[in-house]
């Protein structure tokens, strides 16, 4: 049976990922509670920085250690160390300034492209994934941040099963189809729900920019959450020079709602590259006839309202699945829809060169 003493002994040797001192040294374990009848262990841990990818990795490590020791379930609350405690250890571990490696630094030559939509269900993530893959197929160095932190889906869509690794205190993104990928989904166990509040999510997003070893990138795409909530606003604040692509369906209501996302981009001085109309039509394999399942005109109407252009129209179609390289939402280069994505990618590059 686990006891408070045993829990503190198990966790005491873990190190704070930022100041590199053990939990025992910095008195990080602030509270331990054990419910004997359910064998549930609850701990409160204080670390140097909260809301980071390191915190999520630490959370996974703590859960695994306590479950291996016999806990049925584990609850963790994180807080930040006091300024007094931090002052004792600050600089002792040789903290380095990584700002020069950050994509947000003034020296960065990466072009940011946010893929946004006014509402969910219009295929925004599918567009972001396939646009990133198409840019990589054109020889560009591409990264992709799954910034839809509540509704992350990029790893599953791209068939990614591995997790990022940490090397020299930097997170190495997962490379898939020539695209470097980072997602909240990599740091969550068993598809668990994210219940953080906006400010914590903003810190997590910031760590994706500053603490991931992206290397040299030509383009970094961001799959934004639908709508105009906290995360979308954080992106607009962090990336003043970001370009933006708005995804809609042909349906007038979808286009009307998407206009809000476009208006937000304009108000924050983001440049709208254009509109992509997804699910524009269904083409019968038997007759070749096109059926406009969601109507017509939504993309054109939205582009006119935002004073931009339609970059491309995508049909309702399913990728061909390859068991050896399973990626349920990535279109092959020779697929008819894959070819459309390639043309859209060329159109995007041409627009950026203007």
pLDDT of residue 182: 93
pLDDT of 345 higher than 90? yes
pLDDT of 48 higher than 60? yes
Q: Give percent of the chain with pLDDT exceeding 90.
A: 28
In degrees rounded to 5, what are phi and psi of residue 251?
Answer: -65, 135
- The mean pLDDT value for 248-254 works out to 80
pLDDT of residue 105: 72
Residue whose token pair is 């590059």:
349
pLDDT band at residue 96 using 50, 70 and 90 as cut-offs: very low
* Whole-prediction pTM: 0.71
* Residue whose C-alpha is closest to residue 46's, from 16, 78, 12: 78
pLDDT of residue 92: 46
The answer to whether 247 and 122 have CB atoms below 8 angstroms apart is yes
pLDDT of residue 189: 64
Give CA–CA dist 119/143, Å, rounded: 24
* Residue whose C-alpha is closest to residue 119's, from 234, 260, 274: 260
- The per-residue b/e assignment along 279-305, b for 16 or more CB within 10 angstroms, e otherwise, is bbbeeeeeeeeeeeebeeebbbbbbee
pLDDT band at residue 99 using 50, 70 and 90 as cut-offs: very low
pLDDT of residue 286: 86
- The mean pLDDT value for 210-226 works out to 89
pLDDT of 90 higher than 70? no
pLDDT of residue 141: 95
Q: Give percent of the chain with pLDDT exceeding 70.
A: 84
pLDDT band at residue 136 using 50, 70 and 90 as cut-offs: very high
Structural domains present in the chain: 4-95 (3.30.300.130), 111-353 (3.40.50.300)
- The mean pLDDT value for 205-215 works out to 85
- Structure tokens belonging to residue 123: 């295929």
Residue with more model confidence, 65 or 90: 65
pLDDT band at residue 94 using 50, 70 and 90 as cut-offs: very low
């Amino acid at each position: 049976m686990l006891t408070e003493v045993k829990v503190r002994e198990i966790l005491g040797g873990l190190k704070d990922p930022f100041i590199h001192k053990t939990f025992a040294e910095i008195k990080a374990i602030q509270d331990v509670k054990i419910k004997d009848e359910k064998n549930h262990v609850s701990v409160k841990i204080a670390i140097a920085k909260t809301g980071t990818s390191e915190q999520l990795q630490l959370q996974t490590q703590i859960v695994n250690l306590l479950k291996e020791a016999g806990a049925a379930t584990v609850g963790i609350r994180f807080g930040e160390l006091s300024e007094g405690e931090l002052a004792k250890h600050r600089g002792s571990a040789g903290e380095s300034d990584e700002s020069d490696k950050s994509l947000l630094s003034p020296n960065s030559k990466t072009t940011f492209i946010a893929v946004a939509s006014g509402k969910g269900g219009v295929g925004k993530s599918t567009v972001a994934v396939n646009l990133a893959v198409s840019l990589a197929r054109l020889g560009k160095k591409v990264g992709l941040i799954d910034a839809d932190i509540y509704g992350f889906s990029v790893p599953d869509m791209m068939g990614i099963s591995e997790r990022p690794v940490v090397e020299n205190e930097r997170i190495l993104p997962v490379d898939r189809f020539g695209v470097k990928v980072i997602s909240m989904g990599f740091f969550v166990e068993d598809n668990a729900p994210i219940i953080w509040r906006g400010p914590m999510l903003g810190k997590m997003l910031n760590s994706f920019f500053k603490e991931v070893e992206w290397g040299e990138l030509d383009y970094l795409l961001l799959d934004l959450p639908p709508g105009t909530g906290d995360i979308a606003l954080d992106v607009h604040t962090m990336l003043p020079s970001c370009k933006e692509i708005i995804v809609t369906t042909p349906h007038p209501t979808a286009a009307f709602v998407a206009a809000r996302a476009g208006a937000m981009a304009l108000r924050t001085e983001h440049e709208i590259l254009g509109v992509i109309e997804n699910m524009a039509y269904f083409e019968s394999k038997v007759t070749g006839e096109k059926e406009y399942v969601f109507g017509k005109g939504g993309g054109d109407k939205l582009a006119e309202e935002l004073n931009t252009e339609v970059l491309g129209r995508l049909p309702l179609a399913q990728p061909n699945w390859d068991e050896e390289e399973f990626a349920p939402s990535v279109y092959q280069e020779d697929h008819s829809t894959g070819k459309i994505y390639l043309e859209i990618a060329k159109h995007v590059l041409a627009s950026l060169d203007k």
